[in-house]
């Protein structure tokens, strides 16, 4: 499977009934079947300018679009016809998609331009009443010059406000994806405190964890909403104390035999009794903040406008919360799972740090997803191994599956790309923002420094061996417990979190059945693919989470390839595979076409040479490099 999509995704829109989707956004009603072809076409095109608020403004907008060398759109629509050519139609759509006539598109090539740029267009050459709905639906899902679909751009310009006379159904879906129907004024923000039922800072009190939530107001959304949670240890800032980084200099120590039994360490923290439940207050009486107070995750911002609640927490040892940092230890997973259970309605939270009142997430529909990149995505995998109540799926980008594979390799101490001298204790210090509050600094300084000292010893930079410390941070040990659908994303040139991390977790999960596990592999480094213009990542995530959290059937699990890989030569090309190892090995490679000559090429026959002329690899390697 090969896709050369510049503005399109690996999704199958043939799953949807075109008229039902057009009716869903109130573009047409059942009178569509009584109207003439000409009338329906006029209705469609006149709705393509929602930011023009007068008849005259819409008329001028129509005149700015040419259908052919003789007619602009306004003149063209004055004719009474029963059919039009697909070429005329797509040339108009090209211009509505903000492509430039005379620069990118030309008369007679509007349809071919879309095909060449990877768009999925209909093959019919004539449009009439029998296929008009198909073409109108197809036009709305095409990608514009800014990478968004036509329907997304129309919604942004006020299309739905015009369609529903300010009474927009919320949530609203089109082609299996959530539309951006919520505005900032429709959202509220709140802060609650989760009882983790563990005591990591050893003060004989349950650690309370600050959780910030943004969600649609009840008076705006008369439905229960799903939640996207991101566990972000960097949420409230970092220490960035360079002097505490380990020196990478020095001789390697002599290593003893490695004899640790992988998977033998204890996984979970000891659970303490829950704090006493206080009076449960109704959500309407809960005093809320006007903002979350910290940074966000770009993917989540995209979903806030689409009917999802978004929650963040820094975790143990971060500003506003109790506890200590442990760089991926079991305690961090326990705390995160507690937040998931609150967000899905399976436990109470407190309205303040004093635990004076309890509150439940009565607004939640019980479905939670986790998102995040790097450490954030790592905690998503960690939580998935525990299967907390309510966690339905994760979208995990550039994530660690075993912390040993992040800081060590085969007994050697290694540094993540760009962070020479870092180690697990340094990361714990870096993310320990709790002591940014003056009252907390003196209260917690000595116990945290003690924990850092213990971490330095346990991580064992002397031998680099795998031990209990790393075994507790190896999520591969519990991978068989992951029962939810997972979407992984990773850069094949990532030298921070190396691709071995995603390869190993996929290898474990591929042995299971009854779940969808997909991966997107791009050629970038430690980045998120949000801004890769050749790939419609946001739409894939939209379809994925709309299916997983709203329960809308949209065929995403059936049509999305198990592995999607960006070509390593042409970044505009993406390949779909059934598994990571599937590949067609080429024996002949083309280099370049020389002036007046045939294409230069070479044959890769090193494997054949090795088998035919060498009995051991050492001699082969010596001759190869000499």
Q: What is the pLDDT of residues 4-57, one digit of tens each?
A: 444 555 667 788 999 999 999 999 999 999 999 999 999 999 999 999 989 999
- List, in sequence order, every residue forming a beta bridge with 149; answer none if it has no partner: 143
- Number of independent structural domains in the chain: 3
Q: Which residues are catalytic?
A: 374, 494, 526
CA 70 to chain centre: 46
Q: Is 80 helix (H, G, I), strand (E, B) or coil?
A: coil
498 domain-assigned: no
- Tokens 């309205």: give the residue: 351
Residues 123 and 194 in one domain: no
Boundary-marking domain end, from 478, 507, 540: 478
Within 13 Å, how many C-alpha atoms sit on residue 23's CB side? Answer: 10
- What's the rounded Cα separation, in Å, for the pair 193 and 274? 13
Integer angstrom CA distances of residue 532 from 165, 179, 399, 520, 566: 36, 21, 19, 12, 10
Residues 207 and 82 in one domain: no
- Tokens 């002949």: give the residue: 588
Q: Is the pLDDT of residue 341 over 80?
A: yes
Closest CA to 235 of 359, 329, 325, 348: 325
Residues 278 and 413 in one domain: yes
505 domain-assigned: no
Segment 124-135 shows an average pLDDT of 97
Boundary-marking domain end, from 175, 205, 223: 175
Residues 66 and 45 in one domain: yes
pLDDT of amino acid 255: 74
Per-residue pLDDT band at 626 (split at 50, 70, 90): low
562 domain-assigned: no
123 domain-assigned: yes
Residues 6 or more apart whose Cβ sits within 8 Å of residue 195: 206, 208, 274, 275, 338, 347, 348, 349, 350, 355
Residues 32 and 159 in one domain: yes
Q: At what angle do helices 132-140 and 86-96 cross, to 10 degrees?
A: 20
Boundary-marking domain end, from 175, 205, 221: 175
Residues 142 and 209 in one domain: no
What's this model's pTM, rounded to 2 decimal places? 0.89
Residues 43 and 146 in one domain: yes
User: Which has more confidence, 568 or 201?
Assistant: 201
- What's the rounded Cα separation, in Å, for the pair 329 and 269? 9
Residues 335 and 466 in one domain: yes
563 domain-assigned: no
Both tokens assigned to 284: 């309407």
531 domain-assigned: no
495 domain-assigned: no
Q: Is the pLDDT of residue 299 over 60?
A: yes
Residues 192 and 142 in one domain: no
The domain containing residue 334 runs over which residues?
185-246+264-478
Asked whether 378 and 496 are in contact (CB, 8 A), the reply is no
Residues 363 and 436 in one domain: yes
Tell me what the pLDDT averaged over the chain comes to.
Answer: 88
Burial of residue 156, with CB atoms counted within 10 A of its CB: 0-12 exposed, 13-18 middle, 19 or more buried: middle
pLDDT of amino acid 448: 95
pLDDT of amino acid 535: 82
pLDDT of amino acid 23: 97
Residue pLDDT, tens place only, 374-386:
999 999 999 999 9
Per-residue pLDDT band at 290 (split at 50, 70, 90): very low
Both tokens assigned to 596: 């007046």
Per-residue pLDDT band at 268 (split at 50, 70, 90): low
Residues 28 and 67 in one domain: yes
- What's the rounded Cα separation, in Å, for the pair 116 and 143? 13
Residues 368 and 432 in one domain: yes
Asked whether 66 and 88 are in contact (CB, 8 A), the reply is no
436 domain-assigned: yes
């Amino acid at each position: 499977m090969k896709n050369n999509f510049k503005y399109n995704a690996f999704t199958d829109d043939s799953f949807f009934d075109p008229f039902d989707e057009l009716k869903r956004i109130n573009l047409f009603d059942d009178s569509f079947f009584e109207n003439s072809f000409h009338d329906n076409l006029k209705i469609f095109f006149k709705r393509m300018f929602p930011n023009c608020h007068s008849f005259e403004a819409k008329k001028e907008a129509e005149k700015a679009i040419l259908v052919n060398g003789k007619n602009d759109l306004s003149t063209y629509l004055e004719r009474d016809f029963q059919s039009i050519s697909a070429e005329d139609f797509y040339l108009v759509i090209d211009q509505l998609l903000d492509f430039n006539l005379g620069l990118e598109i030309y008369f007679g090539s509007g349809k071919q331009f879309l095909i060449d740029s990877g768009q999925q267009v209909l093959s019919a050459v004539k449009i009439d009443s029998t296929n008009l709905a198909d073409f109108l639906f197809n036009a709305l899902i095409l990608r514009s010059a800014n990478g968004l679909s036509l329907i997304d751009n129309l919604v942004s310009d006020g299309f739905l406000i015009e369609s529903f006379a300010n009474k927009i159904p919320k949530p609203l879906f089109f082609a299996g994806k959530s539309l951006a129907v919520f505005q900032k004024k429709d959202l509220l923000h709140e802060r609650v405190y989760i009882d983790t039922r563990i005591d990591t800072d050893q003060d004989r009190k349950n650690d309370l964890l600050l959780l910030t939530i943004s969600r649609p107001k009840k008076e705006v959304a008369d439905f229960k909403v799903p939640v996207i949670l991101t566990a972000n240890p960097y949420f409230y800032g970092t220490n960035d104390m360079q002097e505490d980084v380990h020196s990478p200099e020095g001789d390697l120590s002599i290593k003893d035999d490695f004899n640790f039994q992988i998977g033998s360490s204890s996984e979970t923290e000891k659970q303490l009794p829950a704090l006493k439940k206080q009076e449960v207050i109704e959500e309407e009486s809960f005093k809320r903040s006007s903002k979350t107070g910290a940074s966000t995750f770009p993917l989540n911002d995209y979903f806030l406008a689409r009917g999802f609640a978004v929650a963040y927490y820094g975790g143990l040892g971060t500003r506003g919360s109790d506890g200590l940092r442990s760089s991926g230890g079991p305690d961090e997973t326990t705390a995160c799972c507690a937040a998931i259970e609150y967000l899905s309605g399976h436990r109470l939270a407190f309205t303040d740090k004093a635990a004076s009142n309890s509150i439940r997430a009565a607004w939640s529909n019980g479905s939670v997803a986790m998102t995040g990149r790097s450490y954030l995505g790592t905690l998503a995998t960690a939580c998935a191994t525990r299967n907390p109540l309510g966690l339905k799926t994760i979208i995990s980008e550039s994530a660690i599956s075993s912390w040993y594979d992040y800081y060590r390799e085969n007994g050697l101490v290694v540094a993540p790309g760009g962070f020479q001298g870092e180690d697990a204790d340094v990361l714990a210090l870096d993310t320990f923002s709790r002591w940014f509050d003056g009252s907390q600094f003196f209260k917690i300084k000595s116990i945290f420094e003690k924990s850092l000292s213990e971490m330095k010893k346990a991580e064992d930079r002397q031998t680099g061996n795998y031990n209990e410390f790393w075994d507790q941070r190896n999520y591969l040990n519990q991978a068989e417990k992951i029962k939810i659908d997972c979407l992984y994303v990773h850069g094949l040139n990532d030298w921070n979190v190396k691709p071995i991390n995603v390869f190993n977790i996929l290898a474990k999960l591929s042995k299971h059945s009854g779940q969808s596990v997909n991966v997107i592999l791009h050629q970038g480094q430690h980045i998120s693919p949000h801004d890769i213009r050749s790939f419609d990542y946001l739409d894939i995530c939209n379809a994925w989470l709309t299916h997983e959290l709203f329960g809308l059937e949209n065929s995403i699990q059936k049509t999305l390839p198990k592995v999607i890989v960006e070509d390593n030569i042409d970044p505009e090309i993406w390949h779909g595979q059934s598994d990571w190892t599937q590949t067609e090995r080429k024996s002949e490679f083309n280099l370049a076409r020389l002036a007046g000559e045939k294409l230069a090429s070479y044959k890769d026959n090193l494997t054949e040479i090795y088998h035919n002329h060498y009995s051991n690899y050492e001699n082969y390697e010596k001759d190869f490099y000499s």
